Amino acid sequence: MNKLLKTTSVVALTFAFVGEAAATEWNVSVWGKRRAFTEHVEKLAELVSEKTGGEFTMNVSYGGLSKNRENLDGISIGAFEMAQFCAGYHRDKNRVVTVLELPFLGVANLEEEVAVSKAVYAHPAATEEMAQWNAKLLMTSPMPQYNIVGTGEPRDTLEKMNGMRVRATGGLGKAFEAVGAVPTSVTATEAYQAMESGVVDTVAFAQHAHLSFGTINQADWWTANLNPGTVNCPVVVNIDAYEALSDAEREALDSSIPEALDHYLANYGELLKKWDSVLEEKGVQKVEIDQSVIDEFRAKAADPARDAWIADMEAQGIPGQELYDLVVKTLADTRGS
């Protein structure tokens, strides 16, 4: 009887070990705190766990795995399986997707941002470039057009923007530079301190980030309609980890992406609805920029930035014109449908 009990225990432990070993657990590197910008990642983790009966789980870490500028490096060496990053943090490593950061592209809403990002992510040039980092583009983190908060007198003309010290990365930084501003690319988590210490006097963010990183609490004013562009922040997975998934796990992951993005869009929509009340609550002046100023800004920033970007990409063997045309066509197709 004792021998039988021992044998039964060993068999039970063996099956328990096999069951435990079969479970898949991914680590996901993001930063800051849970907010509108990360809701699709959180929803994706929830859906994948549900669909696999808890056999495929994701641990979302807010800064505990890597610095935000090093997330792509972490993916490349397999330090974690999934990560979010913004193209402007290391433009040389993700050149293709920076087409989505060109100023004044004319993207009108988050749905259009999803559409153009999806099109660019699916382009062979994007796939090939990300593969150099052992990364697969999974989904975007769609953000509305950036606008700036600032201290002191509102910067509502190009003359007033001349010499303005602005936190703006990527193509946005280039746009502000074109009108005489001085951009700096401190990370999102450093923006509040930079504003508080006077390193910058204005910060360009989407609404959720002004809230999450506290820059709205330093602000005297916010531009409601400047809309110079936005940044592109992909969610990527380590290729080896993705290919190691079972067919069922991979299906659970891939099939959850549309629902995760829908959740993100709905959640962000609620934030935008209450934005005016946030400004009023915090005593921040809502500044409407005159259309003539916006037109002048676009003329100085958009065409030169686009032409320079295309020439730079083509010189590096990347189909810059083709990628830009893809964005324009996707916008037209999306509006047409």
Give the residue from 31, 88, 64, 33 showing the smallest Cα distance to 211: 33
Q: What is the pLDDT of residue 265?
A: 97
For residue 2, what pLDDT band results from cuts at 50, 70 and 90? low
- pLDDT beyond 90 at 38: yes
Mean pLDDT across the stretch 230-250?
Answer: 97
- CATH fold of 25-142+231-272 reads D-Maltodextrin-Binding Protein; domain 2 (3.40.190)
Question: What residue segments make up the domains of the chain, in order of their start?
Answer: 25-142+231-272, 147-229+284-336
- pLDDT beyond 90 at 19: no
Asked if the domains at 25-142+231-272 and 147-229+284-336 fall in one CATH topology, the answer is: yes
Q: Return d(Cα 238, Cα 152) in angstroms, integer.
A: 45
Q: What is the pLDDT of residue 185?
A: 87
- Least confident range of 37-46, 155-164, 170-179, 306-315: 170-179
Q: What is the pLDDT of residue 92?
A: 95
Specify whether the CB–CB gap between 278 and 76 falls below 8 A.
no
CATH 3.40.190.170 for domain 147-229+284-336, yes or no, is yes
For residue 122, what pLDDT band results from cuts at 50, 70 and 90? very high
Give the residue from 145, 141, 191 showing the smallest Cα distance to 166: 191
Q: Return d(Cα 30, Cα 228) in angstroms, integer.
A: 26
Q: What six digits make up the tokens of 171?
A: 């193509």
Question: Contacts from 327-334 at CB under 8 Å and sequence distance 24+?
Answer: 327/99, 327/100, 327/105, 327/116, 327/119, 327/120, 330/115, 330/116, 330/119, 331/105, 331/106, 331/107, 331/112, 331/115, 331/116, 333/115, 334/111, 334/112, 334/115, 334/116
Q: pLDDT per residue over 131-154, tens digit each?
A: 999 999 999 999 998 999 999 999
Q: Return d(Cα 113, Cα 106) in angstroms, integer.
A: 10
If one compares 208 and 265, the residue with the highest pLDDT of the two is: 265
